[in-house]
Structure 1
């Protein structure tokens, strides 16, 4: 169950998030809420959505725990001003249960799909309704063509994006790097050299280059797919990446084998992992949420994980995420200096009802007003072009927003999210587990290729 928000199952520990919590709109530029002072919502922001007496809209998705609470808070003013009660239900079994509910004639009004591939699968049953005009208009104004395409199936636009994440960050301790004279790499070759340098000094420094965790209950393996996707995009290029994701070339094409072997040089070498945890075999059993924590105690040099991982460093905000703080991150570099193509993920809101209150809610969720409201609450970002990066809860997340909004960014959606479910959330995941267990790259990729529907 790999998607950007499904990974946020632990309480977010970002300093100041609770202080940012919004309880009501006060007419700020972002269209977000108030400052927790109990002021009533400024309903002029929501006049366009209409008013409803006792209407209810059900939403179903993968977002759980503290993140689900913030989701509820993000639309509180919309509820107050429109009279629509937004009833959200989160589930760790969304991917299986959404189909069960659809087939049983009990779908939610709105579903927050954690991956384009699943949206396409469910839309293929004819149960998801095409997006209403108001959502189409918002998508065309506030989202890039690429993001619109991820919500489009066979030429029909069904779902506008919601939140997003930038993947491929490498987290590290600025203090540990400074004490050892290590520099942030600007190319993949320099990253290899840095890895070797840290490994050579492990006995003296006590730092092992990498710490890695692929564990995620029934979704174990997904962090490995992120590694492979990042390297395919950087070493083979965006065109080959697209061909691979769309199965226009075999899954085990030599270019994919080379990219995965390059990852293996880093994380399958016993000298490089698993810092602060154990040997290579512990990668498969270490929960992804805990995989990077040895960075904090100086036993691990680097951890590869998406922007959302900022929320995993502490539960109480005691860990400072800053360039001169306890932990920071650099984007996985490209093959050449200055080249850092980006992979990312996000959710998409599809509808099973066209009731007026459902259209109103779906439209609001595609707006910059909602994006600014939710991002201001902390821990997440959005690719909505109407989002003010300053509303992000940290400097790193602000940078991630700017990366997504930059028209010159070479962006590709998480490949396994777009692939057919049997592959992207099936054999690709299990293949990563088999790989760290000792199976060869060629064997793993060939098995995945043979699983294609």
Structure 2
């Protein structure tokens, strides 16, 4: 459980979120790929190359799942790990030597390639079958501006989470917040109760400092503005300083800029490392009570080893609260399986990767299937099982990471750097939002 975003541009939770260039269709309402889907051709190659960018436990488990399928279907797989997905896949496609199947952590790059017919769409029947079990919203992540589905997720991360230390939080006598209003009230109560600040917030990530704040804002936009406006926002159809989007920043400001709310104070946010910034939850006495971060934080390199070893009895986790009780929007990320040719075995493998039947070994390694019918007992601990059942598979509207769906100039640029200046006290909120808006290229669809 590591992240790639710190070294490239995308966060890997228990899976990987991705960059994009803002050419996705809104909302994921498309249920098919139109009339241009590839038809399988030929007897099938004896070896299929699959390229991806993830590593460690996920890579090993991914290979086990695919090798079992390939063996049963009479072909082998060449696995190619990319150290820099964006650069390497562009070079291979430009050179006329793409892999057979690619796992895109960058839906927008996939859509750019789809415009020039470098990747092939799914057929309607496959999309319809997968859509029956996929978490609502995930088909939209791989749907490009032409309305066709070019990629479907193989594994996903969950970002809309609120972490606590079970015993320390229980000692406060408070309940987990049911709404965003409740979260503000809880924050105020915890601040007033003593010297321990309510929150740990951490945004330092070397050259990528600032990206953790985008996850905060995206979750808040998804809740306060709603899924439809979220889709418009990531495509540039709603400005950052619009009345629909600005309230998300104002909500974050109430938490992060109020004296006594954040461990170390507001300016410490951008100096505190994103991977270890929540570890103070488990100090004795606690250094904070609340920490918002994706599922990767419960893996090696995140929470302390002793916490991870006893995760189910030490760490508490719940969904980041909605605006209204009963809603459950979820921000997520994942790799999208796409095909570069219509060879029979290429399409067979691509379709398997995106299907509900894939991911048995990946789940055992702690990575989530995007299919809500998946057997949650396969996840290795009760904490992950709870995230799957109570958050991911009960999602009322799942959306991929917004900054990763924006043009890289914004999503991995000004959306990182301008809020850092704001949090550091170098500029006000309106200046921050206007600067991001000025950097947003016109939407290309």
Q: SS at the partner of 2:89?
A: helix
| Residue 165 (structure 1) aligns with | 157
| Residue 125 (structure 1) aligns with | 116
Alignment of 1:47-66 (within 5 A): 55-66=46-57
TM-score by length of 1: 0.79
| Residue 451 (structure 1) aligns with | 439
Shift of 1:160: 1.8
Query: CA, structure 1 residues 82+240, in 2 after alignment: closer, same or farther (shift >3 Å)?
Result: closer
Query: CA, structure 1 residues 196+66, in 2 after alignment: closer, same or farther (shift >3 Å)?
Result: same
Q: SS at the partner of 1:369?
A: coil
| Residue 155 (structure 1) aligns with | 147
In structure 1, C-alpha distance between the alignment counterparts of 2:171 and 2:13, rounded to whole Å: 36
What do the CA deviations read for 1:140-172 (whole angstroms, capped 9, x no partner)?
A: 444366322321221222112111122221100
In structure 2, C-alpha distance between the alignment counterparts of 1:200 and 1:212, rounded to whole Å: 18
Shift of 1:293: 1.7
Alignment of 1:47-196 (within 5 A): 55-131=46-122, 135-136=126-127, 138-143=129-134, 146-153=137-144, 154-196=146-188
| Residue 343 (structure 1) aligns with | 331
What do the CA deviations read for 1:296-345 (whole angstroms, capped 9, x no partner)?
A: 222121110123433233557753333xx210111121233343322222
| Residue 228 (structure 2) aligns with | 239
| Residue 375 (structure 2) aligns with | 388
In structure 1, C-alpha distance between the alignment counterparts of 2:372 and 2:57, rounded to whole Å: 26
In structure 2, C-alpha distance between the alignment counterparts of 1:388 and 1:345, rounded to whole Å: 20
What do the CA deviations read for 1:389-431 (whole angstroms, capped 9, x no partner)?
A: 222223343343334444x713333222322332223321223
Q: Residue 102 of structure 2 contacts residue 339 of structure 2 at CA under 8 Å; is this kept in 1?
A: yes
For the aligned residue pairs, the C-alpha RMSD in angstroms reads 2.9
Q: Residue 58 of structure 2 contacts residue 365 of structure 2 at CA under 8 Å; is this kept in 1?
A: no
Alignment gaps of 5+ in structure 1:
10-49
Q: RCO higher in 1 or 2 (8 Å CA, sep ≥ 6)? A: 2
Determine which of 233, 236, 243 is the counterpart of 1:254: 243
| Residue 44 (structure 1) aligns with | none
Query: CA, structure 1 residues 245+347, in 2 after alignment: closer, same or farther (shift >3 Å)?
Result: same
In structure 1, C-alpha distance between the alignment counterparts of 2:206 and 2:78, rounded to whole Å: 27
Q: SS at the partner of 1:213?
A: coil
Q: Residue 6 of structure 1 contacts residue 64 of structure 1 at CA under 8 Å; is this kept in 2?
A: no
TM-score by length of 2: 0.81
Q: Residue 50 of structure 2 contacts residue 101 of structure 2 at CA under 8 Å; is this kept in 1?
A: yes
Alignment of 1:1-16 (within 5 A): 1=5, 2-5=9-12
In structure 2, C-alpha distance between the alignment counterparts of 1:202 and 1:97, rounded to whole Å: 52
In structure 2, C-alpha distance between the alignment counterparts of 1:5 and 1:239, rounded to whole Å: 25
What do the CA deviations read for 1:109-144 (whole angstroms, capped 9, x no partner)?
A: 221111422322232332112236774464344436
Determine which of 217, 220, 239 is the counterpart of 1:228: 217
Q: SS at the partner of 1:255?
A: coil
Q: Residue 51 of structure 1 contacts residue 83 of structure 1 at CA under 8 Å; is this kept in 2?
A: no
